[in-house]
């Protein structure tokens, strides 16, 4: 299994509070992603990163920010949580190649279940 951990795994918070989710990888992969999963919507991309300090917005980025100060860590922050941000959040990693064939697939962490009351 790809070495990806997410913390915390579960969190309950109140509307208006800041929340930070952490994704940590041990694979030294270049690309990292944050998704949210909601019933009927599959996975939707929030933000992604091409490398240290290099990030960009995804499909559903409003209300979220990210930071990547080290290759191995990718943080997702909800500056002021709302009930609509109750979801399961997944981190993923990817690497174009590792000296061999092109590898387009992403590998996923175990997820963080966030409830905003």
Query: Which residues contact another protein (rule: CB under 8 A)?
Result: 4, 31, 40-45, 48, 50, 90, 92, 94-96, 102-111
Cβ proximity to another protein, 53 vs 80, nearer residue: 53
Minimum separation from the CB atom of position 83 to another protein (A): 22
Minimum separation from the CB atom of position 23 to another protein (A): 11
Cβ proximity to another protein, 64 vs 90, nearer residue: 90
Cβ proximity to another protein, 99 vs 104, nearer residue: 104
Minimum separation from the CB atom of position 70 to another protein (A): 19
Residues in the chain: 117
Cβ proximity to another protein, 82 vs 96, nearer residue: 96
Minimum separation from the CB atom of position 39 to another protein (A): 9
Instruction: Please give, one letter per residue, the 3-state secondary structure of 34-67.
Output: EEEEECCCEEEEEEEEEECCEEEECCCCCCEEEE
């Amino acid at each position: 299994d790809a070495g990806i951990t997410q913390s915390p795994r579960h969190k309950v918070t109140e509307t208006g509070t800041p929340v930070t989710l952490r994704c940590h990888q041990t694979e030294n992969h270049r690309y990292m992603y944050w998704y949210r999963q909601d019933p009927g919507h599959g996975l939707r991309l929030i933000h992604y990163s091409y490398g240290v300090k290099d990030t960009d917005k995804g499909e559903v980025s409003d209300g979220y920010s990210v930071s990547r100060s080290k290759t191995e860590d990718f943080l997702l922050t909800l500056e002021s949580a709302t009930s609509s941000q109750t979801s399961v959040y997944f981190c993923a990693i990817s690497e174009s190649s590792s000296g061999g064939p092109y590898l387009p697939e992403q590998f996923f962490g175990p997820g963080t279940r966030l409830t905003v009351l």
